[in-house]
A and B are shown apart, each in its own frame.
Chain A
């Protein structure tokens, strides 16, 4: 009994780490939603409240991620430097800093209140889409694995837009559970995130999507959290839980049509207990962000947030239609069933029996007006999740299209997959059909880029 009490005491004493990086000198363009002003009022609110002085809070300085941290996760075309600015490296690096501090036990949890965001950035990066260039959470996941030997990670995405980038990056990874609840993709960017997107053959039902009807309010939000998110996360037994803390489900968001409140975001945070929350979208910069960010910080730090309230909110303001609620309840039931049966389903029946499982993707980069066609193949292997091959062709206006060929070896790869993947990479170099050929070997933390025109190869190692 005495020991138990001591243990509880230790947990309470640990602080919540914060990195606030509003990038007051960085914008996509002067009038873009991702502009200097975005976190200005959040700054005002948390500074005026004296949040950084609370004994439960420790504020860290941001730091830069390395280019290798990025290439361990993405295939940036043609190279990392051409896709990221310093601001991107700082946003990603800040997330890594908090990851280090959580793993070392310095803090119990952390919140990277950083911009620019990242959850729409996929494995291949031809440009910016959905205001994102590189995926902060995914870079963190690969970093935690490489640096700290962490294997199982759960990512819960609470942004109003489907976290399609994060989904893409971990679609074939059985050790990452990805749950995204968001406004129904038929009514909002990026137009994906439906219940049938459940992960590849090696990671079936490790991706779960909950498309919510526009107008969904706190009650249904909490229903999804209590009945789907929490039990599934608990069942998965992750070593680390990450929350992609987008805030555009708020009832005042100009881009989304949902009706969540700051209080509900805090309740969700308190229930999920993420080790790390990473800010994603949210563009009601005056009416939502100052209140949601404050509420999330207080919830993480276990400080009373019941006095935090939007000035125009009153309890009971939003009523939900019973039909819509019933529809969500049915969806939750169906997803729970998929989760429960994840290891019993007939994989060959769903995905076929070939050497590779293959899917074709068409990806639109809304910020940069790029159209990408992609064929993604994953090696079906009984011993590991299998390596991934991507052939991608991107067109941007009237410029000559860029063709790339990329091979990614997962950190769990078996020996035969690893050596086979290198053969595939060498083969592609010889064929000379693509402008750039990439090898991303997560098992040895080695990244190689081959440029056809120059006949030259660049290697980076972690």
Chain B
């Protein structure tokens, strides 16, 4: 039996799946303490189920999101080795940031050495200011980590108790500014995350759950809870990923669908293209700061069932703020939920109060309550439809760097609009009509996010870059750089090496069975020619375990594995 739990901002959902069927589900209000909410929901669905039957538990939490949003972490000092390029005024992170000399180029060759005195000065400056956490990040450090390692070891020798995080170990993709933010956030959240993991483990042990425990990541993949070797910030924004995976499990395989998750104040939109959730081409933004966190492409629109509605002159406006519950549920202001109630599209709240709310808006304009209600609903729908179109357009406009990528660009339209979340049912039919798709509210739509967590599988990627002229290779996800032993080192060798590293990585995470299948998503070969002679090759290889879910809910014969 599989368990999925989603700890959201207002409520915590849990499901128990047995052989592809939902055996139990529960919704409890979220408490300040995430572990309490988790365990409360867990206990509800485990009622009468022996703990030893639980094969695995996956949960998604707002832990990291909250830590960062509320800045509940110790300050992190930053030491940067930016070298030439963009002006340093671009590197501002609201914390003490020190720049030191030193530079690597795009092939990891040292073009400017470190200066001992500057390193010493930077460390003593951070020490004076009381920092005990430091992020050390160099430009092109994922091509050569020597400078970062040297600075980190200097810090460690002077201050063994400090927590130091190096850029090449957190964020190996090319993008120095994003690497800085990712490294800083990883540094800030790692110990809190470890503490959380230990508490969860202890609580589960007390209940006798011995199955595997995973945590959901923003890209819809899972990470074993026991291995804290991963990067905690990868678990940020796992909520929308959970809902999207849930929908993926609740609709037939291979469908193209828009997932519309309408909550109290926000509406999350995501795409499932031919059965596969769309990944964001770049890392997720975390409160205006761009990171390298791999995430599903989710668009948040600031409108929901509790958004306040006001009359301004002859206009009726929907605002992004929430001032409490809808009027029909005892709140202070009219909301879209009241409009739904008047039109008979929801049964929430008091019908009379809802009519009253519409009249407050409509009477001065001489509009009937149903006219007002329809106008409000139309405004919300127009906004959501506009954003859906924008997501598709953005997807079509993704850059392409290879001929085949340009040629395979396609236009795809959704067959279905799938509603999940509290207020979805009232809007989904009209949204679907506007974009010419079928409206779907699947069974268990209220707990789709918990289902998504329950069906999520581990995802592992390895990006290998080998430079035969320089004789070394790097593994982006591991921050590893090593010598190329073979000569000549062919494309075949590069593919094999990448495959080996994927296996190694799987072992590290205790996910050996996950790498039985693998797919290469990039295999670029660059012949290096200098003075008309081929001097080497650069291989750029990406290999990953197939993305997917355990199975579809209600599929005949249950889950396949």
Say if A and B assemble together.
Answer: yes
Q: How far, in whole Å, are A53 and B534 apart by their CA atoms in the complex?
A: 35
**Cβ of A304: which chain B residues have Cβ within 8 Å of it?**
87, 89
Q: Which of B398, B403, B531 contacts A25 (CB 8 A)?
A: B403
Would you give the 0/1 interface string for A54-88, flagging 1 where the beta carbon is closer than 8 Å to chain B? 10000111111000000000000000000001110
Given A86-B407, A311-B111, verify A35-B527 contact (CB < 8 Å): yes
Q: Confirm or deny: A369 has a beta carbon within 8 angstroms of a beta carbon on chain B.
A: no
**Cβ of B528: which chain A residues have Cβ within 8 Å of it?**
37
Q: How far, in whole Å, are A60 and B406 apart by their CA atoms in the complex?
A: 12
> By the criterion CB–CB under 8 Å, are B112 and A311 in contact?
yes
Q: Confirm or deny: A31 has a beta carbon within 8 angstroms of a beta carbon on chain B.
A: yes
Q: Confirm or deny: B196 has a beta carbon within 8 angstroms of a beta carbon on chain A.
A: no
Q: How far, in whole Å, are A25 and B175 apart by their CA atoms in the complex?
A: 23
**Cβ of B112: which chain A residues have Cβ within 8 Å of it?**
311
**Cβ of A52: which chain B residues have Cβ within 8 Å of it?**
282
Given A31-B529, A90-B406, verify A61-B177 contact (CB < 8 Å): no
Q: Which of A21, A36, A49, A298 contacts B524 (CB 8 A)?
A: A36
Q: Confirm or deny: A236 has a beta carbon within 8 angstroms of a beta carbon on chain B.
A: no
A60 nearest in chain B by CB position:
B397
**Cβ of B282: which chain A residues have Cβ within 8 Å of it?**
52-53
Q: Which of A44, A254, A307 contacts B106 (CB 8 A)?
A: A44
Q: How far, in whole Å, are A19 and B399 apart by their CA atoms in the complex?
A: 8
Q: How far, in whole Å, are A35 and B525 apart by their CA atoms in the complex?
A: 11
> By the criterion CB–CB under 8 Å, are B527 and A61 in contact?
no
> By the criterion CB–CB under 8 Å, are B84 and A311 in contact?
yes
Q: How far, in whole Å, are A45 and B529 apart by their CA atoms in the complex?
A: 19
> By the criterion CB–CB under 8 Å, are B527 and A48 in contact?
no
**Cβ of B162: which chain A residues have Cβ within 8 Å of it?**
none
Q: Confirm or deny: A40 has a beta carbon within 8 angstroms of a beta carbon on chain B.
A: yes
> By the criterion CB–CB under 8 Å, are A49 and B397 in contact?
no
Q: Confirm or deny: A26 has a beta carbon within 8 angstroms of a beta carbon on chain B.
A: yes
> By the criterion CB–CB under 8 Å, are A61 and B538 in contact?
no
Minimal beta-carbon separation of A377 from chain B (angstroms): 39
Q: Which of A23, A36, A48, A61 has the most CB of B within 10 A?
A: A48
Q: Confirm or deny: B88 has a beta carbon within 8 angstroms of a beta carbon on chain A.
A: yes
**Cβ of B538: which chain A residues have Cβ within 8 Å of it?**
37, 40
> By the criterion CB–CB under 8 Å, are B140 and A23 in contact?
no
A30 nearest in chain B by CB position:
B527
Q: How far, in whole Å, are A51 and B538 apart by their CA atoms in the complex?
A: 23
> By the criterion CB–CB under 8 Å, are B105 and A311 in contact?
yes
> By the criterion CB–CB under 8 Å, are A25 and B404 in contact?
yes
Q: Which of A48, A298, A309 contacts B139 (CB 8 A)?
A: A48
Q: Which of A31, A294, A298, A307 contacts B532 (CB 8 A)?
A: A31
> By the criterion CB–CB under 8 Å, are B401 and A61 in contact?
no
Count of A-B contacts judged by CB separation below 8 Å: 126
Q: Confirm or deny: B413 has a beta carbon within 8 angstroms of a beta carbon on chain A.
A: no
A42 nearest in chain B by CB position:
B106
> By the criterion CB–CB under 8 Å, are B529 and A49 in contact?
no
Q: Confirm or deny: A424 has a beta carbon within 8 angstroms of a beta carbon on chain B.
A: no
**Cβ of A50: which chain B residues have Cβ within 8 Å of it?**
86, 90, 175-178, 290
**Cβ of A19: which chain B residues have Cβ within 8 Å of it?**
399
Minimal beta-carbon separation of B527 from chain A (angstroms): 5
Q: Confirm or deny: B174 has a beta carbon within 8 angstroms of a beta carbon on chain A.
A: yes
Minimal beta-carbon separation of B127 from chain A (angstroms): 28
Q: Which of B86, B396, B402 has the most CB of A within 10 A?
A: B86
**Cβ of B86: which chain A residues have Cβ within 8 Å of it?**
49-51, 298, 303, 307-308
Q: Confirm or deny: B526 has a beta carbon within 8 angstroms of a beta carbon on chain A.
A: yes
> By the criterion CB–CB under 8 Å, are A59 and B174 in contact?
no
Q: Which of A47, A59, A61 contacts B175 (CB 8 A)?
A: A47
Q: Which of B177, B396, B524 contacts A24 (CB 8 A)?
A: B524
Q: Confirm or deny: B85 has a beta carbon within 8 angstroms of a beta carbon on chain A.
A: yes
Q: Which of B403, B409, B525 contacts A87 (CB 8 A)?
A: B403
**Cβ of B400: which chain A residues have Cβ within 8 Å of it?**
21, 61-62
Would you give the 0/1 interface string for B59-93, flagging 1 where the beta carbon is closer than 8 Å to chain A? 00000000000000000000000001111111000
Q: Which of B87, B140, B143, B529 contacts A306 (CB 8 A)?
A: B87
A309 nearest in chain B by CB position:
B84
Would you give the 0/1 interface string for B135-155, flagging 1 where the beta carbon is closer than 8 Å to chain A? 000011001000000000000
**Cβ of B174: which chain A residues have Cβ within 8 Å of it?**
44, 47-48
Q: Which of A44, A53, A63, A290 contacts B290 (CB 8 A)?
A: A53
> By the criterion CB–CB under 8 Å, are A48 and B532 in contact?
no
Q: Confirm or deny: B107 has a beta carbon within 8 angstroms of a beta carbon on chain A.
A: yes
Q: Confirm or deny: A324 has a beta carbon within 8 angstroms of a beta carbon on chain B.
A: no
**Cβ of B90: which chain A residues have Cβ within 8 Å of it?**
50, 54
Tell me the A9-52 residues at the B interface (CB within 8 Å).
19-26, 30-31, 33, 35-37, 40-41, 43-45, 47-52
Given A37-B528, A43-B401, verify A53-B105 contact (CB < 8 Å): no
Tell me the A220-262 residues at the B interface (CB within 8 Å).
254
Q: How far, in whole Å, are A40 and B106 apart by their CA atoms in the complex?
A: 9
> By the criterion CB–CB under 8 Å, are B401 and A90 in contact?
no
**Cβ of B177: which chain A residues have Cβ within 8 Å of it?**
49-50, 53
Minimal beta-carbon separation of B422 from chain A (angstroms): 35
Other A-B contacts than A37-B528, A307-B87, 19 sampled, CB-CB below 8 A, are A21-B406, A23-B402, A25-B404, A31-B532, A35-B529, A44-B106, A44-B143, A49-B176, A53-B282, A61-B396, A62-B406, A90-B406, A286-B107, A294-B85, A303-B86, A303-B87, A305-B87, A309-B84, A311-B111
Task: Name A's B-contacting residues (CB within 8 A).
Answer: 19-26, 30-31, 33, 35-37, 40-41, 43-45, 47-54, 59-64, 85-87, 90, 254, 286, 290, 294, 298, 303-309, 311
23 contacts between A and B (CB under 8 A): A20-B401, A23-B401, A24-B402, A25-B402, A30-B534, A36-B524, A36-B526, A44-B107, A45-B106, A48-B175, A50-B175, A50-B178, A50-B290, A51-B86, A52-B282, A53-B282, A54-B90, A59-B399, A60-B397, A61-B398, A86-B406, A307-B88, A311-B111
